[in-house]
Chain A
Amino acid sequence: MSEFDAATAAVEAALAAGARYADARVMYRRQESMTALNGEIEELVQDEDAGLGVRALVGSGWGFFAVPDLGSARGAGERAAAIAAASASVAGPAADLVPVPAGSATWASECLVDPLAVPLSDKGDLLVTATAEARRAGADLAEGLYHIWDTRKWFVSSEGHRIEQHIRECGAGIAATAVGEGETQRRSYPAFRGQYGTRGWELVDELDIGAHATRVAEEARALLTAPQCPAGQTTLILGSEQLALQIHESVGHAIELDRILGWEAAFAGTSWLELDRLGRLTYGSELMNIVIDPTIPGALGSFGYDDEGTPAARRYAVHNGQWVGVLSGRDSAAVAGLDYGGSVRSDGWARLPMVRMTNVGLEPGPHTLDEIVAATDDGVYMENNRSWSIDDKRLNFQFGCEIGWEVKNGRLGRMLRNPTYTGIGPRFWRSMDMLSGEIVTWGTPNCGKGQPGQIGHTGHPSAPARFTGVRVGVRG
């Protein structure tokens, strides 16, 4: 039985069992990851998983069932419909789906060098060499990793969708940790847990992680004796990697429509945003232009079609500082009275598709990092995330970074250790007064959401930016 045949059988069975809508995804995913420590390989794992997940709508109730065996597709469709019928015993309002054109399509991400075809010895040598060099340069713990995902999926819906996609993702990074008296300090390159994209191994080649091994080790060791980041209110300049996570946490999650509607209230939380203010709320300064864009070539949140069959499309979430868009799915959009979905994905065949970030990031600003530093009389510059925490409405955040520097009279000064900053999302974004045009699209491969838990892959175009009146140096 072909993948499309299995998905079709599942959908037909769900309809026969009483569903008024059904869709099914067959997914086959291969993963490979390797970690190295201090010049030796710690672990190499090659995983594959395959199966079918079917979603059925009976009345206003949803049901989802997943099986690894495509031969059980019809039974899975029937089980999904039965679960949906049980949902109706604690029923909500009528469920509708915003329209999406049906049809057949295929899509594949760009990939110049198949990462699974690169010899393991080459990939191992890369991590061994880089971590050995960082160790030699003074790291007590020199860690390196890469991760590869190769996902094929076949989507069929009762409305006539028949979509095949092949998405290849990979990335890598290194980290050096120095152990001192009662504390540790870490530096990473290019980001904590690495940089990722929907690209081939050429992405890892471009990172050239070995070239940064000495620097991260030396900086980690230097941090042990650097002065603490002072506490107080100041002007804060963030590097693009840290700002990418700031976007992820305080914008990306806040604009998820399922959170706004209360569907995640018990776990991931809700949002400070209220739908009746969409289009009428100032989120940030006029420099703030946040775009939802799953069409960016090579970005980690890119795809051709989301897991409801909606074609990838670019739209503003924040335009000139005004909140104008959300991340949504077909059912949540219908509830909210909006006319677009397009941001629904599942973490594999065994998990329910749900509203997820795609690529959510900034449009470039008019400055450069050098210009921002030169224009700052007194402040702190922070790079690379070390810790992140935000409240369940996505308002109050506190981030720790790996490293900071004083900024005095337009120049970078002393290195600072344990830099942290805290604030309230909209106040913080409204204080952004300088934004660089040096955009990097960072990939976040570890976005947790949902019950059962799902891991999402997201992308975040970001650039260095300056914020005023920010509280820094929070410590326990």
Chain B
Amino acid sequence: MPEIEKNLLDIQHLRIEATSYPPGEPPRDVVLVDDVSVSLKPGRVLGLIGESGAGKSTIGLSSMAYARGGARLAGGHIILNGRDIIHLTGGKLRSLRGKEVTYVAQSAAASFNPSKRLMDQVIETTLKNRLMPRPAAEKRARELFRKLGLPNPDSFGERYPHQVSGGQLQRAMTAMALCPKPDLVVFDEPTTALDVTTQIEVLAAIKEAIRDTGVAALYITHDLAVVAQVADDILVLRHGKKVEYGTTDQIINAPKQAYTQALVSVRSIDHEEKAEAPPVLSVAHVTARYNGTNFDVLKNVNVELPAGQTLAVVGESGSGKSTLARAITGLLPPTQGKITFAGRELSPALPGRKRDDLRELQMIYQMADTAMNPRQTVGQIIGRPIEFYFGLKGEAKRVRVQELLDQIEMGKGFADRYPAELSGGQKQRVCIARALAAKPKLIICDEVTSALDPLVADGILKLLLDLQRQENVAYLFITHDLATVRAIADRIAVMYRGQVVRYGSKTDVLTPPFDDYTDLLLSSVPEMRLGWPEEVLEHRKMESAGN
């Protein structure tokens, strides 16, 4: 009889609770994770997937018997290496963390101590647990740096976190997790905060490191295409409950539950690009730089946006997308070039602009949270531009607020709610209504769906397209997500290092032949297809060898 391999991790009927303190109400207990059971064999990778609030990270951290904030492990068993760790405390708990299980956080940039050298942080647990002497630990760290494709692996550890890039920090964090030779690594959205072009490389590096070291892993993400690349099995979660649990192949190709099917098929929006029309906004030869610096963050940018259409501006972080928005809104006056809006030339700086310029050009931001006054009700937030621009007061204002709430598909009671009582998607809808209240000709949308879950983001995009049809408003849509671009754009401008490297109608921009950068960007978008990152990277290597 063949020996049955023991489970490394066995989570049984796990229940995690927290106490919530809603404003103006007595505190109440909320269940974050409800009766979830899952097991993991040595050397296997389990993907945990779901939208925010699904309990993915909470379950991942429970494998280290850790609960964030006020959460507590309230019931069930977490059996790691044959013993139940759910009630471990003190020294026994600490010797498990960083030795048997390690953690890779979403934002490595925030998760490294800014005042210590990377090497000291990477080998800290290895030394603490006396797994090897310092020289041996440093040698192992350098080997891991090399394996993860970090530049100058021998001297990389001498640097401080602020001296290396975000993608490099994410690799260094993976090295930190692998250094003490753990049995299990928890990867918590390790590539979510990275640009697509960086994500593909980090993903491939993590995948290879997992394979080479034979470590087991919990891989937490909201992106199915990413988890499909690394996981053997996938657990789909929603509202803290298990939705579906199966092999990667089954979940991707034959999902049984309706929710999983929706996840697999998001981005169902079909958007026909509109015909040419006279422009509402034209940006001509705009060059800009920040005060006190000596390089241009925008270099001779030329784009046009027809009335009632959408111009998507894509590129990675630092490419100048948001700077372009700042130049158009007058927050950063260009050093050269001119911006024409609704037939009149705009004053470069904000103080020189007329009230109509301000009214007809509105903005929606990535973080709806911070873009609203938390002490005002939804009615006050939306009512402000109505009063400011149109002088409506009292009943007239209330009626207009309700009209706008209806337009963003939110019902009656919402006008009296505070932002804290809204979900992420609802907050963004309120921001849209506030922009719309000014009856603008152009709305600049700066990564408005980036912080939202895919299904919620889909709803927002559909709403924006509906509103465009009703109000004939134009969008300048800034995003790094190419799937969003496909869903909403009529025209596309690809930006790279402050320049527009490709510009035209959606069809033209997304049809080969591509320039090098657009090709890099498009091929980096995650695909469900297994082995996609290796294929793309191999292809790139051959091409660069051929040149």
Chain B binds chain A: no
